[in-house]
Amino acid sequence: MKLHRCRYVWLKSRFHACWRVQEALDERGIAYEVVEAPWPRRSERTAVIEGTGQSRVPAIELADGSWYREESAEMARAIRAGRLDSPS
């Protein structure tokens, strides 16, 4: 699994969208690889755009090649609820 997120990996605040999702993955003990998204040129986030249809991060690329992207609070809730394999 790959977590596509902004390059501010060091920023750990509950108000930061990328950290919110990363923290939920860590809490659940889910292994992932961090992929830092290009910034400031969102148009260069080609993998994210191809996978989700948008340039926003965080986004999760699953091992089967599917993608998961919602607002970060919803993503964190789904991860903590154990719904990552079948996000709704």
The DSSP-derived string for 59-74 is EEE-TTS-EE---HHH
User: Does 62 fall in a domain?
Assistant: yes
Domain housing 40:
2-80
Instruction: Give, to the nearest 10 degrees, the angle between helix 17-28 and helix 72-80.
Output: 0
| Total number of domains in the chain | 1
User: Does 87 fall in a domain?
Assistant: no
Burial class (CB in 10 A: 0-12, 13-18, 19+), 40: exposed
CATH number, residue 15: 3.40.30.10
Q: What is the pLDDT of residue 4?
A: 97
User: Does 42 fall in a domain?
Assistant: yes
Per-residue pLDDT of the chain (88 residues; tens, 9 = 90+): 999 999 887 777 888 999 999 999 999 999 999 999 988 788 899 999 999 999 999 999 999 999 999 999 999 999 999 998 655 4
pTM of the model: 0.88
List of residues 6+ apart from 10 with CB closer than 8 A: none
Q: What is the pLDDT of residue 85?
A: 61
